[in-house]
Amino acid sequence: MSSKPTITPLTSLSVSRHLIPATSKAPNTSIQQKPLLIYHSVFSSTYTTAIERHLRDTAVVVPQWRYTMYDMSHYHSTTHEVLCVSHGRARLCFGGEDNPERVESVVCTGDVIIVPAGVAHCLLEDIDGAFEMVGSYPPGKAWDMCYGRPGEEGAYENIAALAWFDKDPIYGDSGPVLDHVTD
């Protein structure tokens, strides 16, 4: 089934916002000062094709994959990332496991995570088995994989040059991604 999903109205949406300081391996939110956002229980219908259709209809990001999250901390320097949980529950780490100010969160089916470029993230535990997300990026953007290793020196400049979202990937003209826009 691929019908259009019902989404939680903005007036009822619960959102977690996190600014995460840099570590020696990841800049996290320190470059652009855009928060990691977790929209809780956005999608009531979690058919993967319906989530992908909603993302295409909103036209802010393009769905590019269906998968779990890697269990090794990594970040992207070439794009911001929108992750829609389509199945299961998982405990995720944002900011790097060695960061005392990291964010560990349990996400579940229907949640949406806005991961700003530079924020380290990894899977700590697939709670139910078969945890899956739809990974999406702004049109024309491709992700890279950075691990805080030598040779990734250009990553910080890439992040600084990225534009933030002009519209919310889920809600369009208004929404949490636009609440803390600073230039």
Calculate mean pLDDT across residues 39-47.
87
What are residue 92's DSSP bridge partners? Answer: 105, 123
pLDDT band at 25 (very low <50, low <70, confident <90, very high): very high
Q: What is the pLDDT of residue 5?
A: 77
